[in-house]
Amino acid sequence: MAKLTKLDDIVSLCKRRGFIFQSSEIYGGLASCYDYGPLGVELKNNVKKAWWKNVVQMRDDVVGLDCSILMHPLVWKASGHADHFADLVAECKKCNTRTRVDHLKDKATDSAQEHTEHVAIAPGATQDLSKKVCPSCGATGNFTQPMPFKLMFETQMGANIEDSMTLYLRPETAQGIFANFRNVLDTTRVKIPFGIAQIGKSFRNEVTTKAFIFRTREFEQAELEFFCEPGTDDKWFEHWKEQRFNWYLNLGLKKENLRFREHEKDELAHYAKGCVDVEYKFPFGSGDWQELEGIANRTDYDLRQHQRGMRTLNAWYETKGDLSKIKLKEEAEDYLKGPLSYFDDEKKARYIPYVIEPSAGMDRSTLAFLVDAYDEEEVRGETRNILRFSSAIAPTKAGIFPLVNKDGMPETARNIFNDLKGRFNCAYDEKGAIGRRYRRQDEAGTPFCITVDGQTAQDQTVTVRERDSMNQIRVAIDQLKAYLRDKLDM
Ligand code: GAP
């Protein structure tokens, strides 16, 4: 029977096999930043490719975009991040450790109310921390009043002190899409309903980081902003819920480990009409179920806010770019005619589109795919570690081996490798006993292993071993490409 997966097993496999390393490890490591090694980069690229294929390539109503990470500071004033993107933290008076208030556990119940990525800051809200325990030193009820901790990383642009300005590393990719809404409308033939998709890095100075690549300070998001006519938003919300849930299932996540969680009314951002998380049952955390992706109905909030932001530009120049001194201009009375509004040619109506936003974490999905695929089984008295990845995301599609390093077998195996590698990501391996080479590929999640043996020279066939069943069949060399294409569905 398969053993219950522990995060430690996954972390250790990721390190041992070159999936994921701690950032700057040779300098003792940089907390909550990670590097993807040779197998990890293939895996994560495949996850991103699968998202792009499903959300952009397979549809005729979504186009792609790749925005810069650094954006005009007013973007973050208009989006609300500059003033409100913060976590509520309390400092332990005994050991000075700061912890997110929603991550503090009760002494008696050992429960925390952690749900969302970030808590909405309600100034003046009093919090009873008298029963909460410091996760660092164990002191109970010994906290300062909760205070907001800003999550955006700041940086400076420009060489001269006089004209250098403070910029922010984007905390989400979404705002780059809103800022380009008009550009996309003016340069393509899209008509509402349509979406703009983007995959890219985001940065948050998280207070609590945890569980490997689950919550990090630099991470990758895949976001879709789907623009639709007000009144059709509920329908599109349901459409995207279904699409996104099925995406995880089709890439191999087990159904029993996936669920939706509707946000409670008091969890919703003030502009959101509705929000649901796709949750995965991770083998760690205060509760098992953790957010993989959020799907939100953002209404017309962002486009309206950016119209206000554009009206605030002069004030921004006057304060020399000091966002704390700027108040966002009121909405223009004729905001419906503003530059981010949409004119529907057929209905002869103008409106600010509503937005449905599925927002997924690519690192977090990669972790879920790793955890879900991990398995251990006993084979002839030995433990076999396997990553049962679906073929679309497996980092390597086929391992190619000569059974022994003589009688022309390495040359034939190399020829096969050279023939297949342009089509599928393959690995050539001629070192060690064949059983060990199979095990190495099982542990990397490689669906097929191809072995050139003594019979190959006689009948031009090789053995093809399938990862999960370990069944072997003989396939003619000239049929290999078609065989793999069919089996891998690519
Ligand atoms: N634009 C909406 C947005 O950014 P979010 O719930 O803050 O919403 C969306 O983030 C997704 O991004 C999350 O569901 C999660 O998968 C991923 N994510 C957010 N913060 C993360 C972090 N610190 N580390 C890894 N992934 C993160």
- What is the rounded distance in angstroms from the CA atom of residue 136 to the CA atom of residue 99? 9
Instruction: Select from 364, 365, 367, 369 the residue to mutate for testing ligand 1; criterion: most ligand atoms less than 8 Å from CB.
Output: 364
Closest ligand 1 atom, residue 174 Cα: 1
pLDDT of residue 339: 96
Give the Å distance between the CA of 464 and the centre of ligand 1: 41
pLDDT of residue 3: 47
- What is the rounded distance in angstroms from the CA atom of residue 377 to the CA atom of residue 131? 44
pLDDT digits 0-9 by tens, 258-308: 999 999 988 888 889 999 999 999 987 655 899 999 999 999 999 999 999
Q: How many Cα atoms occupy the beta-carbon half-sphere of 399 within 13 Å? A: 26
In this prediction, residues 32-42 reach a mean pLDDT of 97
pLDDT of residue 287: 56
> What residues have CB less than 8 Å from 245, skipping those under 6 apart?
258, 260, 278
pLDDT of residue 27: 97
Task: Produce one character per residue of 225-259: b if its CB has 16 or more CB atoms within 10 Å, e if not.
Answer: bbbbbeeebeebbeebbeebbebbeebbbeeebbe
- What is the rounded distance in angstroms from the CA atom of residue 4 to the CA atom of residue 6? 6
Task: Produce one character per residue of 408-417: b if its CB has 16 or more CB atoms within 10 Å, e if not.
Answer: ebbebbeebb
pLDDT of residue 132: 92
pLDDT of residue 223: 98
Is pLDDT of 16 > 60? Answer: yes
pLDDT digits 0-9 by tens, 304-333: 999 999 999 999 888 877 888 899 999 999
pLDDT band at 238 (very low <50, low <70, confident <90, very high): very high
pLDDT of residue 125: 55
Give the Å distance between the CA of 363 and the centre of ligand 1: 10
Decide the pairing of beta strands 398-402 and 426-428: parallel
Is pLDDT of 5 > 60? Answer: no
Is pLDDT of 237 > 70? Answer: yes
pLDDT of residue 58: 97
**Measured CA distances, 36 to 42, 94, 170, 215, 363 (Å):** 9, 38, 21, 15, 10
Q: Whose CA is nearest to atom 7 of ligand 1?
A: 117
pLDDT of residue 110: 53
Give the Å distance between the CA of 424 and the centre of ligand 1: 31
pLDDT of residue 95: 92
The answer to whether the Cα torsion of 243, 54, 481, 444 is positive or negative is negative
Is pLDDT of 2 > 60? Answer: no
Give the Å distance between the CA of 221 and the centre of ligand 1: 7
pLDDT band at 447 (very low <50, low <70, confident <90, very high): very high
DSSP β-bridge partners for residue 195:
62, 226
Closest ligand 1 atom, residue 118 Cα: 7
Residue percentage of the chain with pLDDT more than 70: 94
Give the global pTM.
0.93
In this prediction, residues 411-424 reach a mean pLDDT of 97
Which amino acid appears at position 262 of this protein?
A: E
Is pLDDT of 488 > 60? Answer: yes
pLDDT of residue 1: 40
pLDDT of residue 320: 77
In this prediction, residues 204-215 reach a mean pLDDT of 88
pLDDT digits 0-9 by tens, 97-122: 988 898 888 876 655 545 556 654 54
Give the relative orientation of helices 362-373 and 38-52 as an angle to the nearest 10 degrees: 110
Q: Whose CA is nearest to atom 24 of ligand 1?
A: 215
Give the Å distance between the CA of 120 and the centre of ligand 1: 15
Instruction: Select from 34, 47, 102, 117 the residue to mutate for testing ligand 1; criterion: most ligand atoms less than 8 Å from CB.
Output: 117
pLDDT digits 0-9 by tens, 334-362: 999 999 999 999 999 999 999 999 999 99
In this prediction, residues 461-484 reach a mean pLDDT of 97
**Alpha helices per DSSP H over 121-220:** 174-179, 181-187
Closest ligand 1 atom, residue 209 Cα: 23
Is pLDDT of 136 > 70? Answer: yes
In this prediction, residues 367-381 reach a mean pLDDT of 94
Instruction: Select from 221, 224, 268, 293 the residue to mutate for testing ligand 1; criterion: most ligand atoms less than 8 Å from CB.
Output: 221
Is pLDDT of 403 > 90? Answer: yes
The answer to whether the Cα torsion of 408, 409, 410, 411 is positive or negative is positive
Give the Å distance between the CA of 116 and the centre of ligand 1: 9
Instruction: Select from 170, 219, 282 the residue to mutate for testing ligand 1; criterion: most ligand atoms less than 8 Å from CB.
Output: 219
Is pLDDT of 176 > 80? Answer: yes
In this prediction, residues 135-157 reach a mean pLDDT of 92
Which amino acid appears at position 162 of this protein?
A: E
Give the Å distance between the CA of 203 and the centre of ligand 1: 10
Higher-confidence residue of 86 and 48: namely 48
Residues with CB under 6 A from ligand 1: 117, 172, 174, 204, 206, 215-216, 219, 221, 223, 291-294, 359-361, 363-364
Instruction: Select from 218, 359, 367, 369 the residue to mutate for testing ligand 1; criterion: most ligand atoms less than 8 Å from CB.
Output: 359
Q: Give burial (CB, 10 Å; 0-12/13-18/19+) of 167.
A: buried
Closest ligand 1 atom, residue 204 Cα: 23
Max Cα–Cα distance, the chain, nearest Å: 83
